[in-house]
């Protein structure tokens, strides 16, 4: 069974649009927050991957299915998990829920390729691959 990393997010006023709901692109900011914390829970920081190991994970594909709107000052729960791992690709999945009533607001996935600082493909270093694989079990 896949392990899930969970964070909470409170919707800030600046994240809403003229209709009073969260602007669609802001969900992807939260997904990034979820990814970073997911990696931290596995024992390393994304910054460490970049600086110490010249290993970067740019997003090459992102999808989101919006189910219901989030609004200003609501407390949300973001669940993040790793759903696929190959030597040069990592895929994350996300579920965003309203904390009150646990209503599903959005489901998303992002696909990342492994590159170096020159944006050349490379394999994921073993220490990271091993840690990421633990979440797939």
Residue indicated by tokens 């802001």: 26
| Residue 36, strand partner residues | none
| Residue 21, strand partner residues | 71
| Model confidence pLDDT, tens digit, residues 47-80 | 999 999 999 999 999 999 999 999 999 999 999 9
Pairing mode, strands 104-113 and 89-98: antiparallel
Tell me, what's the pLDDT at 87? 84
Rg of the Cα atoms in the chain: 16
Dist CA 67 CA 1 (whole Å): 25
Tell me, what's the pLDDT at 99? 97
Catalytic residue numbers, as ranges: 17
What are the residue boundaries of the structural domains of the chain, listed by start?
A: 5-136
| Model confidence pLDDT, tens digit, residues 71-87 | 999 999 999 999 999 98
On whether the 5-136 domain is CATH 3.10.129.10, my answer is yes
| Model confidence pLDDT, tens digit, residues 96-119 | 999 999 999 999 999 999 999 999
Please, which pLDDT band fits residue 2 given cuts at 50, 70 and 90? low
């Amino acid at each position: 069974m896949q392990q899930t990393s969970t964070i909470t997010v409170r919707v800030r006023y600046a994240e809403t649009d003229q209709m009073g709901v969260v602007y669609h692109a802001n969900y992807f900011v939260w997904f990034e927050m979820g990814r970073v914390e997911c990696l931290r829970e596995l024992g390393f920081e994304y910054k460490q991957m970049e600086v110490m190991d010249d290993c970067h994970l740019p997003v090459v594909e992102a999808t989101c299915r919006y189910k219901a709107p989030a609004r200003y000052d609501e407390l949300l729960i973001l669940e993040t998990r790793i759903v696929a791992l190959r030597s040069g690709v990592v895929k994350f999945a996300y579920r965003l829920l309203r904390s009150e009533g646990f209503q599903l607001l959005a489901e998303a996935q992002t696909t990342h390729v492994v590159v170096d600082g020159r944006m050349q493909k490379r394999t994921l270093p073993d220490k990271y691959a091993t840690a990421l694989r633990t979440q797939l079990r």
